[in-house]
Amino acid sequence: MSTAEPINTQPVQQFIKIVEQIDKANGKEVKLNITTAKTLANTLGIVMSRLAGDYEKLLKNSSGNTTVTDTSIQIELDGGSNWK
């Protein structure tokens, strides 16, 4: 699966709308038929897989761009004798 392919997030959006509607109606539970639940689970799996892959790429690319340098800092303390 190419990361350039758009993900169909319609099942997630529909689920969010259903939850919002039930919440506004003071409902106590959300029921989904098995087809809707499977579609939602599949979509969430795709989204999470893409997110994990993108995160791995980000970490891999950013770790190659950082350089560690040995920098020396010298501090001299004079006890405050030159304080003005």
Res. 59 pLDDT band, cuts 50 70 90: confident
Confidence (pLDDT) at 51: 92
Confidence (pLDDT) at 68: 60
Residue 12 has pLDDT above 60, yes or no: yes
Burial 54-76 (b: 16+ CB within 10 A, else e): eeeeeeeeeeeeeeeeeeeeeee
Res. 64 pLDDT band, cuts 50 70 90: low
- Claim: this prediction has a pTM higher than 0.85: no
Task: Report the C-alpha gap between 1 and 63 in whole angstroms.
Answer: 25
Q: Where in the chain are the domains?
A: 1-54
DSSP code for 63: H
